[in-house]
């Protein structure tokens, strides 16, 4: 029912199949009001939205039996996928609902919802733990009651509540995981995102995902913001619903790839959607409120669609990490969330392909902790065996294709020079992005397939982490002598640090030296060792 086609980090491009058809994920479901839509669902379909969400409770209160007769697709005049929210969220705003989980569940089935949601009790953000526990209990009870209903044709969503209490979210997810839902959803209190508390969002999503079956999609409630979507997708969210496109428009807020701008603060249209390419900014600003709201809402939808597509393109290219890192420079609070990701290595590494079509990008020490690099270092320490007889380590900075070619020459010539003694030599590359790379591994992806500014923008953290990785390697295999070949000025700071911190090591000055000269110097060190 849920096919995953491509992954990067914990993000996945998938296909959620159901009776009526399917949704390509990740996807945003625009929220529409069952009674009156500023943008009609048929327009949403034209724009490219395969699925929308509406409110079952309001539908039931207003249409009642008529809705059961006609069906929700007829009422909304939309033949794509319709997800119905139980109305649980209304509770946060309007207080108790006049219905029960079973009643609203049967109603959603009766009106032909393709995706239906249990009548949950949303936790909200600034509530006591005790209250949060109650909402989790109530939601689980409602979930069990709902799943007891025999005639179920819709795909059913199990909502995970718990607010900001991570341990509650965890136990809520564990319990809900035992119930046979088709999808799960995370209640992300809108306040989290209004406060740009992306760090908390990272923690919430990961604790829930790590306790739910991975083969079921996860829906993130109410997350229609260009900064939230890529991060949430990378953490494993597959579906989003959003009324933001209309709520922002109502507030004269125009969505960009970086956030939102008040129309009065907008001077230039940096978008070419059907609205922005057919109106000047002044024309837009001069429209009457109702017309303006509709047009900005349309523009907002296009931007959100673009954001989903840009994120999917990044997954296909294997560049989701890079895309997040760029997005994270839109706001310091998003940056704080991004740098938290390296703590979830194991969770993110799983979906990160071993081979990607493109080079990896490295900008600063955070990129030295990206999944591919940690994975490489784990395998280096756990799986790679350096033959015992190799007592001498030759460390050469950086690796690129040219250096690889020269090193092959280097090794051959050392063989000629030293004869049988060349068996005592292990050549490794020193690499700011990766750490230590034994010569034999150097042509494995992505060890030479990268672009990096670490050697230009070399922060102390970069040096320290590289040194730490070298130390780990040296703890794995002790060498009698370490020869540092200083042939790259960008590695001089590292080499100086190594000289201070590592025993038994000697530096060979090789700046601009020919291969012959370098071999002479290395050989001298080695021969000198024998005597």
DSSP string, 164-227: T-HHHHHHHHHHHHTS--SEEEE---HHHHHTT-HHHHHHHHHHHHTTS-TTS-EEETT---TT
Kindly state whether residue 451 participates in binding its own copies, applying the rule CB under 8 A.
yes
Kindly state whether residue 260 participates in binding its own copies, applying the rule CB under 8 A.
no
User: Within positions 239 to 258, which residues make up the interface with its own copies, using CB under 8 A?
Assistant: 256-258
Kindly state whether residue 330 participates in binding its own copies, applying the rule CB under 8 A.
yes
Reported in sequence order, the residue ranges of 257-318 that DSSP labels E, i.e. its strands, are 259-262
Kindly state whether residue 145 participates in binding its own copies, applying the rule CB under 8 A.
no
Least spacing, CB of residue 414 vs its own copies, in Å: 33
Reported in sequence order, the residue ranges of 398-459 that DSSP labels E, i.e. its strands, are 425-431, 435-438, 450-452
Judged by CB under 8 A, the residue of 302, 429, 432, 473 near its own copies is 302
Judged by CB under 8 A, the residue of 127, 138, 326, 507 near its own copies is 326
Judged by CB under 8 A, the residue of 3, 283, 457, 509 near its own copies is 457
Kindly state whether residue 329 participates in binding its own copies, applying the rule CB under 8 A.
yes
CA distance 120 to 238: 20
Judged by CB under 8 A, the residue of 460, 478, 515, 527 near its own copies is 460
Q: Between 363 and 445, whose beta carbon lies closer to its own copies?
A: 363
Name the one range near its own copies by CB under 8 A: 134-142, 220-228, 323-331, 419-427.
323-331
Q: Per the structure block, which two tokens stand in for 245?
A: 């496109």
Q: Between 443 and 457, whose beta carbon lies closer to its own copies?
A: 457
203 near 235, Cβ under 8 Å? Answer: no
**Site map (CB under 8 A) of its own copies, residues 350-389, x = contact:** -------x---xxxxxx-----------------------
Place of tokens 């079921």: 216
Least spacing, CB of residue 400 vs its own copies, in Å: 13
**Site map (CB under 8 A) of its own copies, residues 411-450, x = contact:** ----------------------------------------
User: Within positions 24 to 53, which residues make up the interface with its own copies, using CB under 8 A?
Assistant: 47
Kindly state whether residue 263 participates in binding its own copies, applying the rule CB under 8 A.
no
CA distance 275 to 491: 52
Least spacing, CB of residue 407 vs its own copies, in Å: 23
A 10 A CB-CB count for 97 gives: 18
Q: Between 153 and 329, whose beta carbon lies closer to its own copies?
A: 329
Q: Between 310 and 523, whose beta carbon lies closer to its own copies?
A: 310
- Say whether 100 sits in a helix, a strand or coil: coil
Q: Per the structure block, which two tokens stand in for 74?
A: 């007829």
Residues with a catalytic annotation lie at 85
112 near 152, Cβ under 8 Å? Answer: no
Q: Between 389 and 457, whose beta carbon lies closer to its own copies?
A: 457
**Site map (CB under 8 A) of its own copies, residues 270-299, x = contact:** xxxxx--x----------------------
Q: Between 73 and 305, whose beta carbon lies closer to its own copies?
A: 305
Kindly state whether residue 312 participates in binding its own copies, applying the rule CB under 8 A.
yes
Q: Where are the alpha helices (DSSP H) in 242-288?
A: 244-250, 281-286
Name the one range near its own copies by CB under 8 A: 79-87, 104-112, 117-125, 262-270.
262-270
Q: Between 100 and 309, whose beta carbon lies closer to its own copies?
A: 309
Least spacing, CB of residue 222 vs its own copies, in Å: 23
Q: Under rule CB under 8 A, how many of the chain's residues touch its own copies?
A: 53
Q: Between 280 and 504, whose beta carbon lies closer to its own copies?
A: 280
Place of tokens 């060498």: 479
| CA distance readout (Å), 208 to 159, 160, 174, 223 | 11, 8, 8, 16
97 near 142, Cβ under 8 Å? Answer: no
| CA distance readout (Å), 121 to 82, 139, 183 | 22, 6, 17
Q: Per the structure block, which two tokens stand in for 205?
A: 């999503």
Judged by CB under 8 A, the residue of 423, 461, 489, 501 near its own copies is 461
Least spacing, CB of residue 340 vs its own copies, in Å: 9
CA distance 156 to 139: 14
Kindly state whether residue 309 participates in binding its own copies, applying the rule CB under 8 A.
yes
| CA distance readout (Å), 348 to 27, 133, 217, 435 | 20, 29, 16, 20
Least spacing, CB of residue 161 vs its own copies, in Å: 28
Q: Helix 401-418 vs helix 515-530: angle between axes, to the nearest 10 degrees?
A: 40
Q: Between 123 and 368, whose beta carbon lies closer to its own copies?
A: 368
Least spacing, CB of residue 385 vs its own copies, in Å: 33
Judged by CB under 8 A, the residue of 268, 385, 387, 512 near its own copies is 268
Kindly state whether residue 238 participates in binding its own copies, applying the rule CB under 8 A.
no
27 near 223, Cβ under 8 Å? Answer: no
CA distance 462 to 452: 12
Least spacing, CB of residue 334 vs its own copies, in Å: 9
Q: Between 267 and 514, whose beta carbon lies closer to its own copies?
A: 267
211: alpha, beta or left? (left if phi > 0; alpha if psi -120 to 50): alpha
CA distance 28 to 242: 7
| 3-class secondary structure per residue, 25-53 | ECEEEEECCCCCCCCCHHHHHHHCCCEEE
Kindly state whether residue 171 participates in binding its own copies, applying the rule CB under 8 A.
no
Q: Are strands 183-186 and 155-160 parallel, antiparallel or unpaired?
A: parallel
Residues contributing to the site for its own copies (CB under 8 A): 47, 256-258, 261, 265-274, 277, 302-303, 305-307, 309-310, 312-313, 316-317, 322, 325-326, 329-333, 335-336, 339, 357, 361-366, 451-453, 456-457, 459-461
């Amino acid at each position: 029912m849920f096919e995953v086609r491509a992954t990067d980090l914990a993000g996945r491009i998938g296909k959620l199949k159901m009776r009526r058809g399917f949704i390509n994920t990740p996807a945003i479901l625009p929220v529409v009001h069952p009674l009156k839509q500023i943008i009609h669902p048929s327009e949403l379909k034209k724009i490219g939205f395969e699925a929308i969400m509406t409110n079952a409770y309001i539908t039931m209160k207003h249409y009642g039996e008529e809705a059961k007769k006609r069906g929700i697709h007829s009422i909304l005049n939309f033949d794509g996928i319709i997800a119905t929210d139980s109305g649980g969220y209304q509770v946060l705003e309007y207080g108790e609902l006049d219905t029960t989980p079973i009643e609203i569940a049967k109603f959603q089935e009766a009106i032909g919802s393709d995706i239906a949601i249990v009548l949950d009790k949303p936790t909200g953000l600034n509530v006591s733990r005790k209250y949060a526990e109650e909402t989790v209990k109530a939601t689980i009870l409602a979930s069990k009651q709902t799943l007891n209903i025999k005639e179920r044709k819709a795909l059913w969503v199990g909502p995970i509540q718990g607010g900001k209490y991570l341990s509650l979210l965890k136990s809520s997810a564990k319990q809900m995981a035992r119930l046979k839902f088709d999808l799960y959803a995370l209640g992300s209190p809108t306040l989290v995102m209004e406060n740009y508390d992306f760090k908390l969002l990272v923690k919430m999503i990961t604790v829930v995902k790590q306790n739910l079956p991975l083969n079921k999609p996860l829906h993130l409630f109410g997350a229609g913001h260009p900064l939230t979507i890529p991060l949430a997708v990378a953490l494993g969210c597959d579906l989003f619903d959003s009324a933001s496109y209309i709520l922002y428009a109502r507030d004269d807020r125009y969505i960009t790839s970086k956030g939102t701008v008040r129309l009065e603060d907008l001077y230039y249209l940096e978008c070419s959607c059907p609205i922005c390419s057919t109106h000047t900014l002044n024309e837009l600003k001069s429209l009457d409120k109702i017309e303006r709201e509709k047009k900005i809402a349309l523009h907002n939808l296009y931007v959100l669609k673009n954001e989903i597509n840009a994120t999917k393109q990044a997954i296909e290219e294997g560049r989701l990490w890079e895309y997040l890192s760029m997005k994270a420079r839109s706001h310091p609070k998003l940056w704080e969330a991004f740098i938290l990701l390296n703590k979830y290595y194991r969770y993110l590494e799983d979906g990160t392909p071993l081979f990607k079509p493109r080079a990896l990008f490295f900008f600063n020490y955070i990129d030295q902790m990206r999944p591919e690099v940690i994975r490489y270092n784990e395998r280096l320490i756990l799986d790679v065996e350096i033959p015992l007889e190799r007592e001498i380590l030759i460390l050469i900075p950086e690796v690129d294709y040219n250096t690889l070619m020269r090193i092959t020459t280097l090794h051959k010539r050392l063989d000629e020079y030293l004869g049988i003694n060349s068996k005592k030599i292990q050549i490794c590359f020193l690499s700011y992005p990766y750490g230590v790379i034994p010569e034999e591994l150097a042509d494995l992806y992505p060890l030479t397939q990268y672009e990096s500014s670490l050697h230009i923008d070399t922060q102390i953290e970069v040096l320290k982490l590289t040194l730490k990785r070298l130390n780990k390697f040296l703890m794995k295999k002790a060498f009698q002598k370490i020869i540092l070949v200083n042939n790259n000025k960008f590695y001089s700071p590292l080499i100086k640090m190594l000289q201070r911190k590592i025993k038994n090591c000697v530096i060979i000055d090789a700046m601009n030296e020919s291969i012959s000269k370098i071999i002479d110097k290395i050989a001298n060190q080695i021969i000198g060792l024998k005597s």
